[in-house]
Amino acid sequence: MRPRILDLNVLQTLVAIADTGTVTAAADRLAYTQSTVSMQLHRLEALLEVSLHEREGRRIRFTAEGEQLIGYARKMLALNNEALDSLRQRQVSGQLSLGIPEDYAFLLTSVLSHFSQLFPAVQLQVICGSSVRLLEQVQAGELDLAVVTRQTRSPGGEVIRREPLVWAVGAEKQPSLTDPIPLALYSPGADVFREVAEQALFSAGRQWRLAYSSQSMTGLMPVVVAGLAVVPVTRDMLTPQLRVLDERSGMPALQSIEMALHRPSGRPTEPARQMAELIREHLAGDG
């Protein structure tokens, strides 16, 4: 009798359902249709000749057999990834230059750590700078990859994450929000945060003044924490020293920004291709 073999793709679907709780959410995670996810689950039950799940409204509850298989599925998928990673480690070498805006470098900490573990033979150089400058370096062929921030629907690059912007003030102190509103903004040309803030205030008919300017959030923080200015930030950039202003503050809503991955024209090097894949996995999954 021909042995039955579990399909890793189907096991991946099973784990996605377990992690998200519904067929709909699992389909979104895997970029499948809901019917495909349901079909794979039923196919798995037919192969094993056992019921793996029960429905409770829209949510999925797994039987004891289902929970047992999920445990095995996680181990099998982890072993599959370990095998692939081991083979990739031996094949990839060379140099890689990656550009990241200083205030977003923390988002790539896990990416850089994972990459160095997977590909120890690659010499990685990380360059921090403004999104505008990093994009120029990519276009000039000085960087293999760059993650940059931009306004939504801007041309070029590959969008990997969208972040809503919010207004923030010091956790304990804040300035008066009457016109002209004191702002702490990035230096002109340093990033898109300033452009988004200016557009929102102009559209709302609000007046503002520049209280402080810097190339990074590190430089803006002291003034904001002291209660002397309002700053536009993403929620990922918030610290315990900052507090978000809600709609009751009278401040206009801010547009979201996009994080986009850029690389020079032409075929990417293998280190650049692997790094781009890791960035997509990590940032898209967290956004």
- Going by C-beta distance under 8 Å and a sequence separation of 6 or more, which residues neighbour residue 113? none
Per DSSP, what are the bridge partners of residue 170? 242
pLDDT on residue 189: 58
Which mean pLDDT values do the consecutive 10-residue runs of the chain (287 residues) have? 80 91 87 89 90 85 92 92 71 89 85 88 91 90 92 78 92 95 82 87 95 88 96 91 92 91 89 92 68
> Residue 259, class by beta-carbon neighbours within 10 Å (0-12 exposed, 13-18 middle, 19+ buried)?
buried
pLDDT digits (tens, 9 = 90+) for 166-187: 999 999 999 999 999 999 998 7
pLDDT on residue 286: 52
Q: Which helix (H) or strand (E) holds 137?
A: helix 131-139
Total residue count of the chain as it appears in this document: 287
pLDDT digits (tens, 9 = 90+) for 243-274: 999 888 999 999 988 889 999 988 888 899 99
In eight-state DSSP terms, residue 52 is -
